[in-house]
Every structure is written in structure tokens, then in C-alpha cells.
Amino acid sequence: MALKIKRGDTVKVVKGKDKGKIGKVKKVLIEKKRLIVEEVNIVKRHMRAMGPDRPSGIVEMEAPISWSNVRLICPSCGEPTRVGFRFEDGKKVRYCKKCNEVID
């Protein structure tokens, strides 16, 4: 499966409790088809103490969100868009389906 969204891309959430939020992709979980996006899908976890440097407590962290709930924001047109693939000069590149510009 080719990845249409990569680490470092800016995405907009289009479904779910965080609909409308924009953030950068921190991590891509390929096997689960999920993404971790900055400041999106914040959950609270009860953490156990791990020695003197990390005390116990309630920690807020980003949880993974399904890749189908986000759209890539095109760097050239600035709108949430679908992503396609095509070959240019023998290389496979991603392109915006709204403005037809290469993303990479």
C-alpha cells in the first residue's frame, strides 16, 4: 500500500470529535492505518511512576486517528484535498487532485 500521507505533512481533520482542526503529522502507523497528529485527539492516561525522573500522574497525550478521517492540505493551493500518484521522469510522485500540482 502506498502512503498518501507522510510524516511532516499538514492535515485537516474532516470527521470525528476534532473536526476542523489542523495539525502536523508526527508519526504514521502503517500496519494500523493510523496517524498521530499534533494537538489532535488528545486523551488522558494514568501513568505509573517510572523511577525518580518520571513521577506518576495523569498525562495528556495524542492518540492515533484513522487516516480516513483526515485530508492533506496542499502546499500550493492551501486547501484540504485528496492525493493521487503519477509517474514523472521515471519517479512516482504524489499530486493534489484539486490543483494538479506535485506535492513532494
Instruction: Give the domain ranges of the chain.
Output: 10-48+56-76
Q: Which residue has the cell 505509573?
A: 48
Task: Label residue 3 by pLDDT band (50, 70, 90).
Answer: confident
Strand, coil or helix: what is 67?
Answer: helix
7-57 pLDDT, tens digit per residue, is 999 999 999 999 999 999 999 999 999 999 999 999 999 999 998 998 899
DSSP 63: P
* The three grid cell numbers given for residue 47, joined into one nine-digit string: 501513568
Please tell me the CATH code under which domain 10-48+56-76 is placed. 2.30.30.30
The Cα 72–Cα 3 span in angstroms is 12
Query: Residue 75: which of 102, 36, 39 has the closest Cα?
Result: 102
